[in-house]
Every structure is written in C-alpha cells, then in structure tokens.
Amino acid sequence: MTFAKLGLESRLLKGVEAMGYTSPTPIQHEAIPRALSGRDVVGCAQTGTGKTAAFILPILQSMSPGKGVKALVVTPTRELALQIEEVARACARFTNHRTAAVFGGVGYEPQKKQLRRGVDLLVATPGRLLDLQGRGDVHLGKLEILVLDEADRMLDMGFWPDVRRIIRLLPEKRQNLLFSATMSPKVLSVIGDTLDDPAEVRIGHTATPVASIEQKIYPVDGVQKGELLVALIKQRSLERVLVFTRTKHRADRVCRTLGRSGIKAAPIHSNRTQAQRQKALDSFKEGKVRVLVATDIVARGIDIENISHVINFDMPGNPEDYIHRIGRTARAGADGTAYSFLASEEADELKAIEGLIKEVIECEDLAGFDYRLRYVPSPTREAKKVLRLAYNGGALSGRGRRRGRGGRRR
Ligand code: AMP
C-alpha cells in the first residue's frame, strides 16, 4: 500500500517522502480516506501508531485556501502541541500552508506575532488558546476542521469545560476528527455530543499493548527501588531509558539517585519550565542523558525515538496509563522492553493492569541483586499474599504464570 493510493495529492506525497515514510501505518490507511471524504471521524489509536500524520495529511489537503485559521488541533500538553506542529510543518513543506503551535508556560508575544503573520493550521492547548482568543489575538470564525487529539486524556485532566468553550467559538458547519487512545463511556458521550455520524477507525484492540513489547515485573520492596534501578541499568547497560514515577517529587529523587551513581538522568514533569523540559528532551535525543524520568501527564504522547526500555519505577494508579507508558517504547515497529517495579502495596494496581490487558505479566529477579528487604510487612493481606507468591517463583495468580527466573524464597 502506498500513500498515493489513499488519495493524497502530490505536494503532500512529496512531504511524506521527505519525512522518510514509505507506506502508511494501519491508522493512516484507515483514517486518511475517511477524513478526505469530509466525514467526521473517530480514531481509536495509541500514540506511536502514526496517528498524527493520519489527521494532519487530510487536513492539509482539505483546508480551503485564503486567510484565517482553517484547521485547529486541540491537544492536552505543550509537548504534544510542539510535536504535532513539527509533523504538520514537515508534511506541509511543499504546500503554502502555514502552521503554528500555541501553548501555555511561555510568553505570549512570539505566539501573537506568529498569529499576526497568518496561520492556516493551528495546534493548541486549550487554556492558552482561550487566552489568546479572549485577547483578540486569534479568530476562529473561518474554521473548517477541528481535531480533538487525546480526547480521553483531556477529559482526565479536566480540560473538557475549556474544550467546550472552544467548540462554542467555532462555526457549526465543520468537520470534526477525534482521536483517543481509549474509548471510555465519558469519551463516548463526548463523541455523541460533538460529532455528526462519525466514521469509526479502530486500530487493534485498544486495551492490548503493542505486541512487540517484552514485559516483566520486578517484585521489590519500595525502599530498594532506587538501588534496583541503578543495578538494572548498569548490569544490562541500558542506554535509552524512560522511567515513570508516581509523583514529580519522586521523579526528582530518582534523578538524584541515578546521578549519584554516575548515570546521567533528567526529569520531565509539570514543575519544570518549558525550556527545562525541552532541554531534557534534547539532551536525551542527543544521547547526553541516558535516562528520562517522567510523570504520566507530561510523558503522555511524547515522541522520543528509539527508547529501548520503559521502566515503571512506580506502578501507574490508572491501568490505562500502563498501556500509554509502555507504548513509549517499541514505536513504529521497533522492539521494546518494559520493566515494572512492584512493591507489596502495589499489588492491586498490577491486578487491575493484568485485568485490562488480559495477560499475566511474568515476574523476574535481577541476578546478583541483594533483595535484603523482601519481607517487609505489607499493608494488606491480599498484597502480602500476592507478593509472597511472586517471590516464591512468579506464580502470581494461578492463571498459568510461568516461573520467574531466580524467584526463590529468600
Ligand atoms: P505518532 O503516533 O503520530 O506519534 O507517530 C509515531 C512515530 O511513527 C513518529 O515518530 C512518526 O514519525 C512515525 N511514523 C508515522 N507514520 C509513519 C509511517 N507511515 N512510516 C514510518 N514512520 C511513521
């Protein structure tokens, strides 16, 4: 299958070729012709599937010429806004379309200047867009296509009232494209309210992690997680690692622990300024930093190529975040590995994740690591039981878990 067969015009095909894409990904294959037909589209796809180009390319083809913002992509985070705009700019390279991204946390002036120069395709986070609109710096009366990206995350982050405000500013006659990694009842109700008889595009089972990701659980006492992380990275010579922690504070602490052990690490979370986050991402991309330590909200959707390992230092509270987290590795067909550290008090989170992915994740011990604190009492009986079983050889649930390596009782 080629991009030309999807009905894209030659200027866009040249852009796609320059980006090095040779054939469309499944979501592009499904979504592009439907969006080009002018219908509303709902795309259920995780980041990493190529969904950005799946909505950007039809937008660039369908927007009418002339002044004014014709297409708007609303997305939850600054990083996503920047990434989407980057893809849009690359796809639009051989067209006359002008793209821009506006997001909070940085000054207004450069964004206002860009808007004054003229923008056809605007990528925005909700708050900043409303601010700019309120100040008269952006006009949405000519809008033809609206994209709601990561709709589930925007709902989770409480952005929906802002998104609704934005929608009220738009002409009623427009095309809507909505993308979401998950289709919760909340997302479905939004679709019902906002979209007009949408074509549905679903790629794979949304609750199944990318099949090429190797997943392992490392049972460990909470206080030994830092030591285990250092030992794991050193012993296996891990080079491009994305670590997830539960809180910003823990992300900073993990960075300090790694730094003390001579492993270069940088945090990315919402207490860091935009410039600090960008610097961390750039250093990682350039290989100056080996480990990025992130919290869920910020890391969601960040497009960093060639992450070899995702390590869940803390289990995610929301099982769907597990899928998003591990989806950061194995992007665009590459293989990846996801390790999750499991403390006794996190047994419930693991249960929820295994329930969602309908898979039992194998346990493993790091050979030679001194698990001296294995039997610290855990808060709940259930958790204790689960951990004891895990430590006894990985038979976590009796659902066919294979024996973990080195999982003998200590
Ligand atoms: P996304 O899901 O949009 O964040 O894209 C994930 C990654 O896949 C990005 O690094 C894209 O540059 C890459 N990608 C998107 N479409 C293609 C394609 N057709 N062929 C190869 N790589 C692609």
- Give the DSSP letter string of 41-65: EEEE--TTSSHHHHHHHHHHHHSPS
Distance, CA 330 to ligand 1 centroid (Å)?
Answer: 12
Instruction: Provide the pLDDT for residue 383.
Output: 52
Residue with CA nearest ligand 1 atom 19: 24
Distance, CA 3 to ligand 1 centroid (Å)?
Answer: 13
Exposed/middle/buried for residue 99 (C-beta within 10 Å: 0-12, 13-18, 19+): buried
Instruction: Provide the pLDDT for residue 296.
Output: 77
Distance, CA 28 to ligand 1 centroid (Å)?
Answer: 10
**Residue 163, H or E segment:** helix 160-168
Residue 51, ligand 1, Cβ within 6 A:
yes
Q: What is the mean pLDDT of each run of 10 residues along the chain (410 residues)?
A: 92 94 89 95 84 96 93 95 96 96 95 96 97 96 96 90 95 95 80 86 57 86 94 94 93 96 91 80 90 79 74 90 80 76 91 84 90 54 50 38 36
Residue with CA nearest ligand 1 atom 22: 21
By 3-state DSSP, what share of the chain in percent is helix, strand and coil, each rounded to 5? Answer: 40, 15, 45
Distance, CA 396 to ligand 1 centroid (Å)?
Answer: 36
Distance, CA 87 to ligand 1 centroid (Å)?
Answer: 9
d(CA 279, CA 285): 10
d(CA 323, CA 359): 12
Distance, CA 332 to ligand 1 centroid (Å)?
Answer: 6
Distance, CA 318 to ligand 1 centroid (Å)?
Answer: 26
| Ligand 1, atom nearest to 87 Cα | 12
Q: Which residues contact 287 (CB under 8 A, 6 or more apart)?
A: 239, 240
| Ligand 1, atom nearest to 303 Cα | 4
Residue in the structure block whose two tokens are 């895990």: 390
Where do the domains of the chain lie, and which CATH numbers do they carry? Answer: 4-202 (3.40.50.300), 213-409 (3.40.50.300)
Q: Which residues contact 260 (CB under 8 A, 6 or more apart)?
A: none
Distance, CA 103 to ligand 1 centroid (Å)?
Answer: 23
Residue in the structure block whose two tokens are 């806004």: 81
Strands across the sheet containing 175-180:
99-102, 121-124, 71-74, 145-148, 175-180, 41-44, 199-202
Residue 303, ligand 1, Cβ within 6 A:
yes
Residue 75, ligand 1, Cβ within 6 A:
no
d(CA 76, CA 287): 27
Residue 24, ligand 1, Cβ within 6 A:
yes
Instruction: Provide the pLDDT for residue 356.
Output: 80
Instruction: Provide the pLDDT for residue 396.
Output: 37
DSSP state for residue 378 in the 8-state scheme:
P
| Ligand 1, atom nearest to 21 Cα | 20
Residue 332, ligand 1, Cβ within 6 A:
yes
Contact 232, 284 (CB under 8 A): no
Residue 194, ligand 1, Cβ within 6 A:
no
Distance, CA 146 to ligand 1 centroid (Å)?
Answer: 21
Residue 49, ligand 1, Cβ within 6 A:
yes
* Main-chain phi, psi angles of 248, to 5 degrees: -65, -40
